[in-house]
Amino acid sequence: MDWGSILNFTCDASFFANVFSIIVVNLVLSGDNAVLIAMAVRNLPRDQRQKGILFGTGLAVLLRIVLTFFVSMLLGINFVKLVGGLLILWIGAKLFMESEPGDECREATTMAQAIRIILIADLTMSLDNVLAVAGCAGGSLFLLIFGLALSIPIVVYASNLLSMLMDKYPIIIVIGAGILGKVGGEMIITDSWVEGLLHPGTVMEYTVQGIGIVGVIVAGKLWARWNASRAPEACPVKVTAKDE
């Protein structure tokens, strides 16, 4: 890629076509990241959610810029996407478990915990996203940085909207967990080592994604029930006036 100067670009038809492509790619590919961030900050106090989304998204985009220099090489390394996919499945199940009702003893999520989850998972999920934006940039450093920066307001807005909707409509949490399961399954089956071993076709890819969707939801529910079964031992018994 010819990085050139960041200000070295020409406003011609090709430039505006690349800008349009980058906008579309960001709108399409930022959805998974917005779901992840919304679920990660959902258990924060409402007055801290906006800060968590802004800090998490900003730091994640900075990491994406660094990742851009290595993304082509990373995607070809065996086990990178396999490990990343397994990590996404675990994070998806954990976030879904923490969103399940009935575990009153669970500690509140802290800002640092939410940002850590956002950074780890977003970095893992952004390999393909960064490669797509880099491809649309057509070798222009200006367009590449524009594309990565554009993802910030898109993800921030979508994350805020989703986090509010999750409070009103819990079914969105289930859908979000399913989306993370799909992403994890897709990353696993498209890992270079797995592809060389299994030579998966379209049916197998969709099957693995389906297993990821169901697996995350079922694992999250079982995890929540297991935590709830331990609650009587872990929770202090509240003394009421009647008991006294």
Token pair in block for residue 72? 């082509």
Angle between helices 202-234 and 171-189 (to 10 degrees): 130
| pLDDT tens digits for range 184-222 | 898 899 888 999 999 999 999 999 999 999 999 999 899
Per domain, the residue ranges of the chain are: 13-234
CA distance 42 to 51: 12
Q: Which among 99, 87, 243, 70 has a CA at the least distance from the CA of 167? A: 99
| pLDDT tens digits for range 71-83 | 656 666 788 788 8
Query: Which of the residues in the chain have pLDDT under 70?
Result: 1-12, 28-29, 68-69, 71-76, 100-109, 127-129, 131, 135, 138-139, 231-244
Helix (DSSP H) and strand (DSSP E) numbers for the chain: 9, 0
**Other Cβ atoms within 10 Å of 114 Cβ, number:** 25
Q: What share of the chain is helix, strand, coil (3-state, %, to 5)?
A: 80, 0, 20
